[in-house]
Amino acid sequence: MEQTADIALIGLAVMGQNLIMNMNDHGFTVVAYNRTTSKVDEFLSTTAKGSKVIGAHSIEEMVKLLKRPRKIMLMVKAGKPVDEFIEALLPHLEPGDLIIDGGNSHFPDTIRRAKYLESQGFLFIGTGVSGGEEGARFGPSMMPGGTPAAWPLVKDIFQSIAAKTPEGEPCCDWVGTDGAGHYVKMTHNGIEYGDMQLICEAYQLMKEGLGMSNEEMHDAFVEWNKGELDSYLIEITRDILAYKDPATGEQTLDKILDTAGQKGTGKWTSVSSLDLGMPVTLIGEAVYARCLSAMKDDRVRASKILSGPKIKIAGDKKAFVEDIRQALLASKIVSYAQGFMLLAEAAKEYKWDLNYGSIAMMWREGCIIRSVFLGKIKAAYEADPKLANLLLADYFNGLLKRCQDSWRRAVSQAVLNGIPVPAFTTALAFYDGYRSERLPANLLQAQRDYFGAHTYERIDQPRGKFFHTNWTGKGGNISAGQYTV
């Protein structure tokens, strides 16, 4: 058997098949393998017919077809199947060979797998792949991390098949060691949750607050997609609002039950933000909004019992639509600032050397959150790689100044009219908190010290010196130990 293939791919579900065809189109010879081998034959006789793709019916056969060092990419369900395939592959590989996990794996698993494989002389990459079926076929965003020595082995393949920015740069670059790639992909998904929630809140304000029809909202999204909000998610929302069932002529959107699903990557982002002590509030609200939406029966019951204001947003409709657009833009800036704060903290915690401009570039095209906006983030980090916070970059600070009045009006109207806008609201609260020199945490520290002798620092003493007050005269002077999570 000739060792001619550049890479093998295991897992012939739609993402796997499309990645193989994408690699094939770019001149690479791919071996396709699937646990249920009938899928291999089916793939070769349909989608891959006439291509250079080679089929394998066993791991042994697949491995023998590969050039050395061997490169094997897994496109299988995250979790146990990844570990099972790694174990099944190892007896057929030799040190220096590379296993790539292209699924939505949880980053702690990727860290564990990288350590395990590296300890035996193998190379490992955990890569985020975003953009759905279409992206996989014609240009995904790819976020690879793992064993640094593995990158030169796949750089050419990955960067060839990846989406390209308008400037022609591939939306794929090395992210960092062990779980860095999957961490960045997880954060991408968290931001995706945030963007989607913000758009849903804009939709609800227009629909419930202004009584706009789907056609009118479609027209608004057509306009929005021409400016600063130009993005894939605005574009698909525009199209969803215009879509009519060809058979019935009904507006499909209006027939969809209002309960959201989720597979967990948004939750992982929120859990990680809590673990790292980073206030990534907008993604958290976006996850909770999905949870609340899923409590449909409870909401139906409560809607008949709990009262609220009668909705009445008076005034110029067009002007309020513009307020909503600016509220969306400002909230989006906060969400991305929070996402990059999380990445920076994770980089410290897990010792990754993350390049934020490069991450923005990887998200610029190909992925679900692709947008013109990400081009501005890339530019901000390129202008100042040490930027402390995206909110402080001139471009975003300028936008926030410009959008602020509209943002506050949109949130106020929503609150006054009883329309829930958790993501708009939390973004504004974060913005006001972040720009506050003084917050009421002095009182909070006093309370902690009062009931538990947890001590506090003083404004007139150096940081790191702790004090306790005997608030009641009864507690004594013993204070609790110092630790902060």
Q: What amino acid positions are annotated as catalytic residues?
A: 185, 192
Q: Which is nearer to ligand 6PG, 193 or 424 (CB)?
A: 193
Residue 367 makes contact with ligand 6PG by CB under 6 A: yes
Per the structure block, which two tokens stand in for 293?
């939406």
**Element housing 418 (H / E):** none
Residue 265 makes contact with ligand 6PG by CB under 6 A: yes
Residue 98 makes contact with ligand 6PG by CB under 6 A: no
Q: Which is nearer to ligand 6PG, 169 or 192 (CB)?
A: 192
Q: Residue of minimal CB distance from ligand 6PG?
A: 130
CB atoms within 10 A of CB 164: 15
Of the candidate residues 131, 179, 194, 209, the single one contacting ligand 6PG (CB under 6 A): 131
Residue 104 makes contact with ligand 6PG by CB under 6 A: yes
Residue 368 makes contact with ligand 6PG by CB under 6 A: yes
Residue 263 makes contact with ligand 6PG by CB under 6 A: yes
Residue carrying structure tokens 């929503």: 414
Question: Dihedral through CA 174, CA 176, CA 182, CA 185, nearest 10?
Answer: -60
Q: Which is nearer to ligand 6PG, 7 or 287 (CB)?
A: 287
How many angstroms from the chain centroid is the CA of residue 484?
Answer: 28
User: What is the closest distance, in whole angstroms, from the C-beta atom of residue 280 to ligand 6PG in the complex?
Assistant: 16
Residue 77 makes contact with ligand 6PG by CB under 6 A: no
Residue carrying structure tokens 């779980």: 179
CA–CA separation, 294 vs 257, rounded Å? 10
Residue 293 makes contact with ligand 6PG by CB under 6 A: no
Residue 371 makes contact with ligand 6PG by CB under 6 A: no
Instruction: Give 472's DSSP letter.
Output: S
Per the structure block, which two tokens stand in for 269?
């982002």
DSSP letters, 338-373, are HHHHHHHHHHHHHT----HHHHHHHHHSSSTT-BHH
DSSP letters, 94-139, are -TT-EEEE-S---HHHHHHHHHHHHHTT-EEEEEEEESHHHHHHH-
Phi, psi of 138 (to 5 degrees): -120, 5
User: What is the closest distance, in whole angstroms, from the C-beta atom of residue 291 to ligand 6PG in the complex?
Assistant: 12
User: What is the closest distance, in whole angstroms, from the C-beta atom of residue 129 to ligand 6PG in the complex?
Assistant: 7
Taking CB under 6 A as the binding criterion, the range among 29-37, 44-52, 153-161, 262-270 that sits at the site for ligand 6PG is: 262-270
User: What is the closest distance, in whole angstroms, from the C-beta atom of residue 174 to ligand 6PG in the complex?
Assistant: 19
**3-state helix/strand/coil string of 138-194:** HCCEEEEEECHHHHHHHHHHHHHHCCECCCCCECECCCEECCHHHHHHHHHHHHHHH
Of the candidate residues 47, 189, 231, 326, the single one contacting ligand 6PG (CB under 6 A): 189
CA–CA separation, 320 vs 326, rounded Å? 10
User: What is the closest distance, in whole angstroms, from the C-beta atom of residue 190 to ligand 6PG in the complex?
Assistant: 10
Residue 175 makes contact with ligand 6PG by CB under 6 A: no
Of the candidate residues 22, 130, 338, 355, the single one contacting ligand 6PG (CB under 6 A): 130
- The size of the interface with ligand 6PG (CB under 6 A), counted in residues, is 13
Q: Which is nearer to ligand 6PG, 107 or 396 (CB)?
A: 107
Binding site for ligand 6PG (CB under 6 A): 104, 130-132, 189, 192, 261-263, 265-266, 367-368
